[in-house]
Amino acid sequence: MSETTSNRPPGRDDETRPDGASRGRRTTRRVSRPRSTYRTTVYRVHADLESLATVLNHRYLRANDFTTMTTEVAGAPALLVHGHVPQPVADWCPVVTGLTGDTMTVSHSSAGCVLLIAVDDQVYALTYGTIGRFMIDPERIDPGFGIAFAIRAIEPEQIRRVTRRVLASTGRVERSLVPGGQHIRRYSIEGWGEIVGQLSGHLTNTQLTVARGSARPVSIAGAESLQIAVSTDPAGLLDDLREISRVCARESPSPDLEFIAQVRPIHPGDSTARLDVLLDGLLGSYGHPDLGLAVPASQIEYEASAQSYVIKVPYRAERTPDLDLDTILERTRGRPAGRRLEALKIGSIGMCADSDGRELLTPAVAAHKWITAEISLGAARMIYHEGRWYEIGVEHLAILRAEIEQILTRTPTIALPPWTGDLANEDAYNRMVAEQGTGYVLLDKHFLKTRQHRRGPGIEACDLLGPANELIHVKRAERSAPLSHLFAQGEVSVDALIHEAEARERLVAQVHAERPGHPIDTTFRPRKVVYAIALGEGNRLTADTLFTFSQVALYRTVRRLRGDNVDVEVVSIRT
């Protein structure tokens, strides 16, 4: 950030001397000079150019009696909203009073504003203070704006922060920070299977005010918003916003960052209306495997501090200490078709700093933005993520398919018998394999409790232990969630058996109890994991029959286990 500087000699203050003031004693008044740039959070919003107020969160404004003013910035139409939210007593006061016996009533106030500016055919919202972002209707925000600018205007070699979400039904989010910056390749982001939700690095564009004449690197961050220092001069601000618009519309992403653009948002229209209907149908199901729960990117930094959640889906509110997918689906299953997704859009989920669900950490987010889903339309894969539909790019699918086919077409070292119709479930199949007397040991439902896995029954090392002590995990499944869970089981099991002596000791005891004399002892270290999968209706396990969420989960599991020098095989069980 650059600042204007005074030309006065060092040690001399700007001053005025009132009439009659003593020359021996100066009365000084510092002149506050505006900075040439100011770091600002900039959103691009969908608004009516004739009525900028359409972008505002009117419910929030009415609740707090904020001031709204029509104005302009260097001739551009603008709207300014500002105000503060007083809190007569901080939420921690009763806690401290209870601990010490000393009554404490500390008050505070949060202030902020939003400045909406129509620049040519775009509308930008500049937010200030802790509550400025709350004044915008979240549904009006362009979610791809910040990232779109970042991948076109930052150095791939100096990426400081990355937030990405794995495209899997778990909705896992990973955040990485390297204060000094490093090349994007060193973050080990897959060329597919992940949505990069935030990117922070050094600005390369020299046309923006903050970068002109600056010898120091300028840092920006792009997510749904853009955090960047923009000009404090009215005309300069419009120039900066126009340059940002130009970069997004006309420049290509950096080659090293182009893969981030391979997951593309689908613009609202007839195609998304069709997808919404299909998603509405899934919301009436009981734990559909193509549905998942994911924390919205705007909430991630607050999630670790959340003590409870407030779920408001018409027409009741509930406070809960934990949040899972079933908690949300309980509110959609009983609704008529065509009204389930609508209910989640009207409703909201908020994270709270207290266990009673009274103090929001950040504004509640529409409930549908906590849902993630995958829907196939022919060869296309559509992902519902934070309330928007995305199509996975052809390059993503091609790379993913090539990786999965390489894994699935390896010649397995073990052969498992068919899963015939008289075997009702996995338990029956596993028992049948173990009873054939070919060296397989039944360990299904044999749980290991260790220091790291004390909750519940513990973990399963595997369903079957192979003749050469392969850890074999068996699953008959139709869709992605059970398989994603199967792959995760393999990772957890290997991690425990490598790092916990207690786990190895209990595994050896279980094996010898089932089959005395089987060649295994406490020096055992996993060398091979086998995923044995039977798909319904006689399907073979291929890149075509394995759902995208499961393909992502499988590849990531194989990569992680091979990093521990553990080989992975996938065996397709005939049905």
Q: What is the pLDDT of residue 96?
A: 94
Task: Summarize the confidence of residues 408-436 as an average pLDDT.
Answer: 87
Are residue 217 and residue 185 in the same domain, yes or no?
yes
Which residue has better confidence, 488 or 227? 227
Domain contains 442: yes
Q: How confident is the model at residue 3 (pLDDT cuts 50, 70, 90)?
A: very low
Neighbours of 9 (CB within 10 A): 6
Contacts for 447-455 with beta carbons within 8 Å, 24 or more apart? Answer: 448/496, 448/503, 448/506, 448/507, 448/510, 449/506, 450/496, 450/500, 450/502, 450/503, 450/506, 451/500, 451/502, 452/496, 452/500, 453/492, 453/496, 453/503
> Would residue 13 count as lying in a domain?
no
Q: Give the pLDDT confidence of 302-353 residue by residue, as tens digits.
A: 776 788 999 999 878 889 988 888 888 888 998 999 999 999 999 999 999 8
Looking at the fold, whether 423 and 479 belong to one and the same domain comes out as yes
- Within this chain, do residues 373 and 350 fall inside the same structural domain, yes or no? yes
Q: Say whether both 217 and 68 belong to one domain.
A: yes
- Number of folded domains that form the chain: 3
Q: Is the pLDDT of residue 64 over 70?
A: yes
Residue 359 shares a structural domain with residue 430: no
- Residue 9 — pLDDT band, cuts 50, 70, 90? very low
Question: Which H/E stretch holds residue 62?
Answer: helix 58-64
Give the pLDDT confidence of 178-188 residue by residue, as tens digits.
998 999 988 87
Residue 557: partners with Cβ closer than 8 Å, 6 or more residues away: 487, 488, 490, 491, 568
Instruction: Give the pLDDT confidence score for residue 30 in this predicted structure.
Output: 46
- Tell whether the model's pLDDT for residue 249 goes beyond 50: yes
Shared domain check, 137 and 69: yes
Residues 302 and 207 in one domain: no
pLDDT tens-digit series, residues 534-556: 876 666 778 877 777 678 778 88
pLDDT value, residue 546:
77
pLDDT score recorded for residue 8: 37
Asked whether the CA dihedral 244, 130, 197, 309 is positive or negative, the reply is negative
Q: Is the pLDDT of residue 282 over 90?
A: yes
Please state, rounded to an integer, the average pLDDT across all residues of the chain: 84
Please report, as a single letter, which amino acid is at residue 304. A
Q: Flag whether 321 is in a domain.
A: yes
Q: Is the pLDDT of residue 455 over 60?
A: no
Q: Kindly report, residue by residue over 93-139, the tens digit of the pLDDT.
A: 999 999 999 998 999 889 999 999 999 999 999 999 989 999 999 87
Q: Is residue 5 part of a domain?
A: no
Which phi and psi (to 5°) does residue 102 adopt? -95, 120
Q: What's the pLDDT band for 242 if we cut at 50, 70, 90? A: very high
pLDDT value for 477 = 72
Given a contact cutoff of 8 angstroms between Cβ atoms, the answer to whether 440 and 473 are in contact is no
Query: What is the residue range of 313's domain?
Result: 266-392
- Report the pLDDT value the prediction gives residue 33, as an integer from 0 to 100: 46
Give residue 18's pLDDT: 39
Q: Greater confidence, 425 or 236?
A: 236
**Domain termination residue (choose one: 347, 374, 392):** 392
Q: Are residues 475 and 554 in the same domain?
A: yes
Give the domain-ending residue among 344, 365, 392.
392
pLDDT at 190: 65
State the pLDDT confidence band at 13, using cuts at 50, 70 and 90.
Answer: very low
Write down the pTM of the prediction. 0.63
**Backbone torsion region of residue 424, taken as left when φ is above 0, otherwise alpha when ψ lies between -120 and 50, otherwise beta:** alpha
Average confidence (pLDDT) over 364-377: 87
Residue 17 scores a pLDDT above 50: no
Residues 221 and 284 in one domain: no
Residue 292 lies inside a defined structural domain of this protein: yes
Among candidate residues 347, 363, 392, the one where a domain is terminated: 392
What pLDDT sits at residue 402? 86
Whether residues 248 and 302 fall in one domain:
no
Distance CA 485, CA 170 (A): 9
457 and 326 in a single domain? The answer is no
414 and 490 housed in the same domain? yes
pLDDT reported for residue 269? 53
